[in-house]
């Protein structure tokens, strides 16, 4: 089962992808995580994309496709994969389909998290994580139970992603509206798109997601 999660940045794609991964045993692939790992490693590629990511712009298509092709060849993708936040343009969608066809794979389901952009801006700008274990928090929706102390590991250092700044968020949402939203008809025409109410409670969103996946696996 190969799945794509679409939706504006901060819609909850990462959260739902991890739940899918745990429930169905298929690997979550976050292109953002792959790129951030390159930045953290200080590789030539990481240095190249650092400024692009910080400004909220899109990384070149051929680079992303190459990263994905290498990633899905790993053993943990034997049962399938979940692409979190990719493709972001119709050109990427077509390039992804072409690459998958070449390797004997295809996309089974495209899940779209429908959300309110104004609420998203507040959600994204308020995000921060524990520097030690990576547990996620939010200024408005999920603060640590004990202020300044991670609920999971007890760490006291927290970090915020540079591309979560409010001005960068605005650029990312603009890019989504202009470039990603137009690819929805591409998947609708193929009968692979399923819309999910992303403004519902997390548990309700998860139920919708699992129901959509189960419907495909039973066909």
The ranges assigned to domains in the chain are 2-116+180-218
Taking 80 as the threshold, does the pLDDT of residue 57 lie above it?
A: no
Q: What CATH number does the domain located at 2-116+180-218 have?
A: 3.40.50.300
> Pick the catalytic residue: 90, 142, 166, 172?
172
Pairing state between β 2-6 and 81-84: parallel
> Pick the catalytic residue: 105, 143, 161, 195?
161
Whether 160 is catalytic is no
Tokens (6 digits) for 148? 């300044």
Instruction: For residues 187 and 24, give the distance between their C-alpha atoms in angstroms, rounded to a whole number.
Output: 23
Whether 174 is catalytic is no
Instruction: For residues 168 and 153, give the distance between their C-alpha atoms in angstroms, rounded to a whole number.
Output: 30
Whether 172 is catalytic is yes
Tokens (6 digits) for 64? 């992303």
- Digit-coded pLDDT (tens) for 66-103: 888 888 888 999 999 999 878 978 889 999 999 999 98
Instruction: For residues 39 and 35, give the distance between their C-alpha atoms in angstroms, rounded to a whole number.
Output: 6
- Digit-coded pLDDT (tens) for 146-182: 999 999 999 999 999 887 887 788 788 888 888 777 8
Work out the average pLDDT over 51-56: 76
Residue 153 near residue 132, CB atoms below 8 Å: yes
**pLDDT at residue 219, as a whole number:** 66
Instruction: For residues 187 and 61, give the distance between their C-alpha atoms in angstroms, rounded to a whole number.
Output: 19
Instruction: Find out whether 177 is annotated in a ligand binding site.
Output: no
Residue 178's H or E segment, with its range, is none
Instruction: Find out whether 193 is annotated in a ligand binding site.
Output: no
Taking 80 as the threshold, does the pLDDT of residue 38 lie above it?
A: no
Question: Looking only at Cα atoms, what is the longest distance across the chain?
Answer: 51
Instruction: For residues 65 and 61, give the distance between their C-alpha atoms in angstroms, rounded to a whole number.
Output: 6
Whether 48 is catalytic is no
Instruction: For residues 30 and 206, give the distance between their C-alpha atoms in angstroms, rounded to a whole number.
Output: 18
């Amino acid at each position: 089962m190969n799945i794509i999660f679409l939706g504006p940045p901060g819609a909850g794609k990462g959260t739902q992808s991890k739940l899918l991964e745990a429930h169905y045993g298929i690997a979550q692939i976050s292109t953002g995580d792959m790129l951030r790992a390159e930045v953290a490693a200080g590789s030539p590629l990481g240095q190249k994309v650092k400024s692009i990511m910080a400004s909220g712009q899109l990384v070149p298509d051929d680079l992303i496709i190459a990263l994905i092709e290498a990633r899905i060849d790993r053993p943990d993708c034997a049962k399938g994969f979940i692409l979190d936040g990719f493709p972001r343009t119709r050109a990427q969608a077509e390039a992804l389909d072409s690459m998958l066809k070449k390797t004997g794979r295809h996309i089974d389901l495209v899940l779209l998290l429908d959300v309110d952009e104004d609420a998203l801006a507040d959600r994204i700008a308020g995000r921060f994580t524990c520097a030690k274990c990576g547990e996620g928090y939010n200024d408005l929706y999920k603060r640590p139970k004990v202020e300044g102390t991670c609920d999971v590991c007890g760490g006291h250092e927290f970090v915020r992603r540079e591309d979560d700044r409010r001005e960068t968020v605005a650029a990312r949402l603009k890019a989504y509206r202009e470039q990603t939203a137009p690819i929805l008809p591409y998947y609708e025409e193929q009968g692979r798109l399923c819309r999910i109410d992303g403004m519902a409670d997390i548990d309700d969103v998860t139920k919708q997601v699992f129901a959509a996946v189960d419907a495909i696996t039973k066909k």
